[in-house]
Structure 1
Amino acid sequence: MKLPTNSILISLKIGIVSDGQYGERAFEQIRRRFPTEWILLPYPSSPVVDEIELTIPPCDLYISYLRHPDIAMELIRTGIPALLGINLGPGFIAQAHEFNPAVIGPETMCSVLPNTKFCQVNEYAKVFGRPVFYLVMDGDRIVWCKTIRGSPCGSTDAAASEISGQILDQEALSRFALSICHNCRAPRFGKTCDKEKAGIIHLEELMRALKGVNPKKWEELIQVLEKIGCSFPNE
């Protein structure tokens, strides 16, 4: 299996758009693989902003970590494809689609897949999004857990590194999920995105990788994971 390199993919320029609260870790991760610009916009104190004049550098794809809906909507009005790193809810997304159909508000940033209608999002999601792992096993022990695709916050890489060298059992899976929750930047029990969901997504994909190399161990652990909300519809 050929593993991806960390070379920059020069075909897509990404703008990480933030008001200063979130997005720094995504910027550090994404700029290793794509030409990436850090775009800092204001966070108004007023809940409603009537007149907005923003200077936004042109990019092929914006990833928005903006918390104020009026500022986020102004970004969306540029017509450039946008991923909402902070999902402002279904009502906001419905309104956004009136101005820009290429707006995606994923359940979590680690749930994005390269299967949208928009090539810019798909190119990004080949590298960052719903995790893909490559496992090397020695019996029940994970010799190496390699991230092929992971979350832009870096939690996938951290958890993969921590589980490498461990015996894969229920306790190891619990530590793996807790590592994801600890490093995840999503809000806890958020309405549209939360740490617990991110942990479950990573467990599901770790198990998908496990099935290919150790089906017996997969069969042993899958029943435990289904009890905590993991699903394996294609298994």
Structure 2
Amino acid sequence: MKFPANDILIVVKIGIVSDGQYGERAFEQIRRRFPTEWILLPFPSSPVVDDIDLTIPPCDLYISYIRHPDIAMELVKTGVPILLGVNLGPGFINQAREINPAVIGPETMCSLLPNTKFWQINEYAKVFGRPVFYLILDKERVVWCHPLRGSPCGSTDAAADELNGQQLDMEAMNRFALSICHNCRAPRFGKTCDKEKAGIIHLVELLAALKGVNRELWEKCSQLVDQSTCRVISGS
């Protein structure tokens, strides 16, 4: 089995750019695998900001948790590849890409795959992005659930750890999905990113890992999960 998170990585210096509301957990996670800078910028009270002086450390990749579009656009103008941890909407992304084609606004930070046109983002996404699980089972009991790739917020690690020692049944999958939603930093029912999407992605990938280990149990569990709503079907 291929272990994506253990691939030899090209060194990428990453800057976590925040106005103080989001990004702390991502910084703590990402700094364990990459050289990482915490870059704190002010959050302007005015909806329109002129004459922005953006002085920040040089990095190979910026992950933006900036909520103000004018400040975020100034970051875009650096020309450095950028991941939008706070997605400011399709209009912003379209405008940003006219200035800097290396701007990616993933559906969620746990949906990213290492298949973009930009090597800096791909190196990052080998470790952080759409989850990949390594499962060891004893019949229907989880001996070890290990994330090979997961969310930068840490929700993947927390939910996987809670599965260890549990029977992989409807109750366990429900707890797993709820754990993702609880630990995810995205808003509920967000316009561009939300907890429910994160939960769906994690359940789908957990089932994918199960399919390669115990197909009979995978068929049973797949029937219990409505993958369109991240809901475990009660009474099945």
TM-score over 0.5 (shorter chain): yes
Aligned residues: 230
Return the offset for 1:224.
2.2
Asked if the contact 2:4/2:127 (under 8 Å) is kept, the reply is: no
Return the offset for 1:11.
1.2
Asked if the contact 1:10/1:35 (under 8 Å) is kept, the reply is: no
Per-residue CA deviation, residues 96-117 of structure 1 (Å, 9 max, x unaligned), is 0011000000000000000001
The answer for the alignment partner of 2:234 in structure 1 is none
> What is the distance in 1 between the residues matched to 2:228 and 2:219?
16
- The amino acid that maps onto 1:148 is L
Within-5 A mapping of 1:27-46? 27-46=27-46
The answer for the alignment partner of 1:89 in structure 2 is 89
> What is the distance in 2 between the residues matched to 1:22 and 1:16?
10
Asked if the contact 1:73/1:96 (under 8 Å) is kept, the reply is: yes
Classify the secondary structure of the residue corresponding to 1:213: coil
Q: Report the TM-score, using the length of structure 1 for normalisation.
A: 0.94
Per-residue CA deviation, residues 103-142 of structure 1 (Å, 9 max, x unaligned), is 0000000000000011100000000000000000000111
> What is the distance in 2 between the residues matched to 1:150 and 1:227?
19
> What is the distance in 2 between the residues matched to 1:137 and 1:96?
46
The answer for the alignment partner of 1:216 in structure 2 is 216
Per-residue CA deviation, residues 143-199 of structure 1 (Å, 9 max, x unaligned), is 000010000000000000001110001111010000001100001110000001100
> What is the distance in 2 between the residues matched to 1:56 and 1:141?
49
- The amino acid that maps onto 1:43 is F
- Aligned residues with identical type, % of pairs: 78
Return the offset for 1:8.
10
The answer for the alignment partner of 1:226 in structure 2 is 226
> What is the distance in 1 between the residues matched to 2:112 and 2:136?
25
The answer for the alignment partner of 1:65 in structure 2 is 65
Classify the secondary structure of the residue corresponding to 2:224: helix
Per-residue CA deviation, residues 188-222 of structure 1 (Å, 9 max, x unaligned), is 11000000110010000000000000100110111
Distance 1:214 1:100, change over 3 A: same
Gaps of 5+ in 2: 231-236
Distance 1:25 1:135, change over 3 A: same
Asked if the contact 2:5/2:127 (under 8 Å) is kept, the reply is: no
- The amino acid that maps onto 2:72 is A
Return the offset for 1:6.
7.9
Runs of 4+ in 1 over 4 A off after TM superposition: 1-10
- The amino acid that maps onto 2:123 is E
- Compute the RMSD of aligned alpha carbons: 1.7
Q: Report the TM-score, using the length of structure 2 for normalisation.
A: 0.94
> What is the distance in 2 between the residues matched to 1:189 and 1:8?
37
Asked if the contact 1:16/1:39 (under 8 Å) is kept, the reply is: yes
> What is the distance in 2 between the residues matched to 1:227 and 1:30?
29
The answer for the alignment partner of 2:201 in structure 1 is 201
The answer for the alignment partner of 2:112 in structure 1 is 112
Distance 1:207 1:59, change over 3 A: same
